[in-house]
Structure 1
Amino acid sequence: MTRTLDALRRGFWKGVGTSRLFRQICPLILPPIDRLVSRCTGGRWMPSSMALSTVLLHTTDRHGRPRNTPLATAQVGQDRFLVMGTNFGRPRHPAWSQDLLRQPAAFVTWHGQTVSVHARQLTAEELHAARPSVLAAVPVFDDYAATSGRDIRVFLITPAHDAHPTQPLPVTWTRPRR
């Protein structure tokens, strides 16, 4: 049964996820709806999670303001995730990826639990090794990479206690409301 559902999900993304209409409308509609539903369900659910495994990433922008972004993810291990900066195949890198490059300390909400995390961009070799996980999570990754004309940033998200303990959390961060 799981194989059938995975095949249906991949087929959906190959058909719908690559359409021009989807890429124009969904970036405007899906993230705000995901954030609202996540807030209403205490971070336990987002509509995007019906089609993709999804986390809510909490970063701070360059001015210190909180930014909450729903992201497609691949869970690798018990408490580690890969997040991909596909930005729906658009030519610019998503703002949250720039936030993580500037300040890798962040928070992630997954199934109602918010945890402190550390992000690190994968090297080309690591991305090659993680490719099966990336394609399983986002079947249109290659299409988005080709359409965007850029190297898509992929980050490994790990619990903060497993990361670099010398890097403090940003002082401007305020914990997301529930």
Structure 2
Amino acid sequence: MTQQRRDGEIQVSPANWVAKQAELYEASGGTKGTTQLGVPCLLLDYVGRRSGTLRRTVLMYGRDGDDYLIVGSNGGSDRHPLWYLNLLADPAVDVRVGTERFPALAEALPPGEKERVWPHLVEVFPRYAEYRAKTDREIPVVRLRRR
């Protein structure tokens, strides 16, 4: 599923529920589809590290000051989510939070900073604690800072 954007087509996540939510979020101008399980969500547009394709996914978020925090939990899988690997390759992203869209820079948090914000993220979405307990993989937290 793709959506047209001013600078080209965006390939939306192949996960059906994510694609439907992203479509609703974008089509409504950010007034619908902005939560999942009662947790606030944002749209993240990023470049695929191998394909160079512009991609979009929906992610739950927390806050740290003016910045947005996203978690690469992948449901507690032993593998990082693909969006995270793409951000490591190219941290320049576009974000939509509600009706606002802005460019941002994605930065994986170092361990100490991650531990500082982790309690807030578990408060926002308690399943993060379960996901962390399910895997030996270090679950990354990514800061999205406006450019």
TM-score range, shorter chain: 0.7 to 0.9
Which residue of structure 2 aligns with residue 116 of structure 1?
A: 103
Number of residue-to-residue matches in the alignment: 133
- Bigger share in strand: 2
Which residue of structure 1 aligns with residue 142 of structure 2?
A: 155
| Residue 76 (1) aligns with residue 89 (2) | no
Please, which runs of 5 or more residues in structure 2 have no aligned partner? Answer: 1-13
Candidates 70, 80, 96, aligned match of 1:93 = 80
| Paired-residue identity, % | 26
Matches of 2:142 and 2:102, distance apart in 1 = 16
- Return the offset for 1:138: 1.9
Matches of 1:81 and 1:47, distance apart in 2 = 14
Candidates 27, 37, 43, aligned match of 1:40 = 27
TM-score by length of 2: 0.82
Describe the SS at the equivalent of 2:35: helix
Residue by residue over 1:87-136, the C-alpha shift from the partner in whole angstroms, topping out at 9 and shown as x without a partner, is 12222111110111111111100011110000110111001111222112
Q: Bigger radius of gyration, 1 or 2?
A: 1
Question: Quick one: which amino acid aligns to residue 74 of structure 1?
Answer: G
Question: Quick one: which amino acid aligns to residue 58 of structure 2?
Answer: P
Matches of 1:47 and 1:129, distance apart in 2 = 26
Q: Please give the root-mean-square deviation of Cα atoms over the aligned residues, in Å.
A: 1.7
Describe the SS at the equivalent of 2:80: coil
Residue by residue over 1:25-69, the C-alpha shift from the partner in whole angstroms, topping out at 9 and shown as x without a partner, is xx9443112112112212333163451111111101012101101
Describe the SS at the equivalent of 2:103: strand
- Bigger share in helix: 1
Describe the SS at the equivalent of 1:57: strand
Is contact 2:69–2:141 with CA below 8 Å preserved after alignment?
A: yes
Moved over 2 A (4+): 27-30, 47-50
Describe the SS at the equivalent of 2:39: coil
Please, which runs of 5 or more residues in structure 1 have no aligned partner? Answer: 1-26, 161-178
